[in-house]
């Protein structure tokens, strides 16, 4: 039972981490919360659904790659259309958040208006999903999702640490103006940033789709990934990973807890946001966050 809870927690935590990394990447350079990330993730899941069940019956792995690419490109386009003008104008972050909200509303409702509110299942990855481990029944998909999320994040870390673009992104997270003065094309850098964030989001979307279902409002779950990012410290990559996994674990523990005759699983989301409020009182910068002093 405990093992099962932990595995479930890790798998959902891994997915949270994938999404939270996307939030943190964008936040660290552009200094705003990209609330359109959820819509990108949803579209990523729909891309996988389309190529796996509607058009070509593509097997899982190619479909995963296609949907990562698709989500990356969508995120890039969102940046071009909704943020780049504001970015160049140095608009306050309020404007960027409003723009992000607009994108989120528009994309989600385009799905409602065209494909509809139906729930679609993605074909299972494993024919025999559950494995018996002592008394615990563990889903192969959960383990697979967790391992894959970790691999993807590890690859991202390699990219950030050992490539030129990665170095530029890390530098830009300290001072994007300075980086552009040094001759880095900030537009290209931001494009790469959104491609990376989007494709990780697409992967998360596919895992979500396999684990649960594909539907227009599935992007809601990213709000909890965002909480994960805040717990770890918004703008910090290790923070996003630790925060996401921590939140996933806590949630799966809460889900199986029963106090009296109240099943806490009903109040799982209330619990997550409660953690957010508590954290902001105790430690507003999160676990790994740095306090940025406003320059006058």
Partner 1 sequence: MEYAQAIFTNSAIYIIATMGLAIFTGYTGLFSLGHAAFMAIGGYAAAILTYFLGWPLLPALLISVIAAVLVSILIGYPTLRVKLRSDYFAIATLGFGEAVKVLFENFSLTQGARGLPGIEKLAGPMNTALLMVLTIWLCRNFLRSNYGRKIIAIGQDPVAAEMIGIKLLPNQMLSLAISAGFAGLSGGLLAHYITFIQPAIFSMDLSSLITAGVVCGGMGSLTGPFVAVALFIVIPELFRGLALWRLVLYGVLLVVIINFRPKGLFGHEELNLDNLPKLFWIAGLTVGLTVAASFYNEYASFWGRLPAIAVAAALALATTFGVSLLGRGLNWVFRRTLPGVGSSFRRTYDTIYERFKPQLVPVKRQQQRMEMVSRRAAVTVHGQPVLNVKNLGKRFGGVVAVDGLDFCVYPGEIHGLIGPNGSGKTTVFNLISGVYPLSSGEIQFNGDLISGKPPTAIVLGGISRTFQNIRLFGNMTVLENVQTALHTTSDYSLTEAFVHWPWGVKPTEERLYREAFTLLEEVGLADLANRVANTLPYGLQRKLEIARALALNPGLLLLDEPAAGMNPKESQDLVDLIRKVHETRKLTIILIEHHMDVVMSICDRLTVLNFGSKIAEGTPDDIQNNPMVLEAYLGDKVDYAAAS
Residues that bind partner 1 (CB under 8 A): 32-33, 35, 81-82, 85-86, 91-95, 97-99, 101-110, 112-113, 223, 226-227, 230, 234, 266-267, 269-270, 272-274, 276-278, 280-281, 284, 293-294, 296
CB of 1 to partner 1, least distance (A): 25
Rounded Cα distance between 134 and 129, Å, is 16
Listed residue (30, 2, 40, 81) closest to 225, CA to CA = 40
Listed residue (130, 129, 31, 36) closest to 79, CA to CA = 36
Listed residue (147, 247, 159) closest to 199, CA to CA = 159
31 versus 53: smaller Cβ distance to partner 1: 31
67 versus 99: smaller Cβ distance to partner 1: 99
- The SS3 call for residue 192 is helix
CB of 217 to partner 1, least distance (A): 8
What's the full length of the chain, in residues? 296
CB of 214 to partner 1, least distance (A): 19
Rounded Cα distance between 140 and 51, Å, is 23
17 versus 39: smaller Cβ distance to partner 1: 39
Torsion of CA 74, 75, 76, 80, to 10 degrees: 100
87 versus 193: smaller Cβ distance to partner 1: 87
Can you read off the two tokens belonging to residue 94? 């309020």
CB of 50 to partner 1, least distance (A): 19
CB of 151 to partner 1, least distance (A): 28
CB of 32 to partner 1, least distance (A): 7
2 versus 105: smaller Cβ distance to partner 1: 105
Beta strand ranges found along the chain (DSSP E): 130-133, 136-139, 258-259, 262-263
Rounded Cα distance between 60 and 283, Å, is 41
18 versus 276: smaller Cβ distance to partner 1: 276
């Amino acid at each position: 039972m405990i093992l099962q809870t932990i595995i479930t927690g890790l798998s959902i935590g891994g997915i949270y981490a994938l999404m939270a990394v996307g939030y943190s990447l964008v936040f660290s350079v552009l200094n705003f919360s990209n609330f359109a990330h959820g819509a990108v993730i949803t579209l990523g899941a729909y891309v996988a659904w389309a190529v796996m069940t509607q058009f070509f019956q593509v097997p899982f792995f190619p479909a995963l790659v296609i949907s990562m690419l698709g989500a990356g490109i969508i995120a890039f386009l969102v940046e071009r259309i909704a943020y780049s003008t504001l970015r160049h104008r140095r608009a306050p972050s309020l404007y960027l958040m409003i723009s992000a909200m607009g994108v989120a509303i528009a994309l989600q409702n385009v799905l409602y208006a065209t494909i509809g509110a139906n729930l679609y299942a993605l074909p299972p990855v494993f024919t025999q999903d559950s494995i018996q481990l002592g008394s615990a029944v563990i889903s192969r998909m959960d383990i697979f999702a967790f391992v894959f999320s970790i691999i993807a994040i590890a690859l991202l870390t390699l990219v950030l640490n050992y490539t030129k673009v990665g170095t530029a992104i890390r530098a830009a997270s300290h001072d994007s103006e300075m980086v552009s003065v040094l001759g880095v094309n900030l537009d290209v850098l931001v494009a790469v940033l959104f491609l990376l964030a989007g494709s990780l989001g697409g992967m998360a979307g596919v895992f979500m789709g396999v684990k649960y279902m594909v539907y227009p409002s599935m992007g809601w779950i990213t709000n909890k990934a965002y909480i994960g990012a805040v717990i770890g410290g918004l703008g910090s990559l290790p923070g996003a990973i630790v925060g996401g996994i921590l939140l996933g674990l806590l949630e799966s523990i809460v889900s199986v807890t029963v106090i009296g005759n109240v099943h806490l699983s009903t109040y799982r989301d209330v619990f997550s946001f409660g953690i957010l409020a508590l954290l902001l009182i105790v430690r507003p910068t999160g676990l790994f966050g740095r306090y940025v002093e406003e320059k006058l």
